[in-house]
Amino acid sequence: MNLNGKTAIVTGGARGIGKGISLVLAKSGADVVVNYYKGEDAAREIKEEILSMGRRCIIVQADIASFSDIDRLIEKTLSEFGRIDILVNNAGEAAGHTPFFKVDETRWDLTLNVNLKGLFFLSQKAAEHMTEKKWGRIINISSCGGKLGFRMMPHYCASKGGVDALTRQMAVKLGPFGITVNAIAPGVIETPRIKIDFIEKPEVRDGYLRAIPVRRFGEPNDIGYCVTFLSSDFADYITGNIIYVDGGWSINPLQPEFKIEDENDINKL
């Protein structure tokens, strides 16, 4: 898949899934704008890696939940590359595993502001420039949580369900302008944070592996390959879809089994 001449913005593009996406896009020929919120060292490292491939790359610090930061990200992209062809809305906020009755306004707003509000307004700004060329790709990174409903993440699941609905709405609105909009819902992907929270805890790891039909966790490149396909001309007639890159987890009736000490304790629900 040849993305030569295309410019891609990847939010949260310096670490974890975002890093995998940025690298695969660059290997496929795209110039990449790597957005990051924290972790400048990681952003600089991936910039050097992309430059070593012979692709162009800039890094831009921006809080996707901030209107002014969104404007600055768009302006820096246009100043450097003069175009926006691909937007990957990968930046996300989980705000921690929290029981239903313990989610407060601060945690709720933090999650929704990044995962949904920021995604929408950045897409709005990028689409303004894509419509001029009658070509564009917007790819939203959702989650299986938008479908499955994770026990300890009501705020996160709500935000990702919103991403799925918004993906379909944007596909309908932007399709006449040659812009496709799709979402990718990753399963359990081996990022540094997931390794700590899941993979390095045998009782958690084994529960998930039993629930994933292919019996392995995903890798950031797995998401990057799907993003690259959706960014290419091969996917020109695909829009408004939520694609589950999860090893079959979301279609398997078997869900991870964990010991719950007291189902009647509202502080653990």
Instruction: Report the catalytic residues.
Output: 156
CB within 8 Å of 232: residues ≥ 6 apart:
1, 2, 3, 28
The helix/strand count (H/E) of the chain reads as 10, 7
CA 112/CA 156 separation, integer angstroms:
8
- Is residue 110 within 8 Å of 159, Cβ to Cβ? no
CA 48/CA 225 separation, integer angstroms:
21
CA 2/CA 41 separation, integer angstroms:
29
CA 192/CA 41 separation, integer angstroms:
16
Residue 246 per-residue DSSP state: S
The tokens describing 64, both together, are 């996707």
- Is residue 245 within 8 Å of 223, Cβ to Cβ? yes
CA 185/CA 205 separation, integer angstroms:
20
- Number of neighbouring beta carbons within 10 Å of residue 246: 25
- C-alpha 47 chain-centroid distance: 19
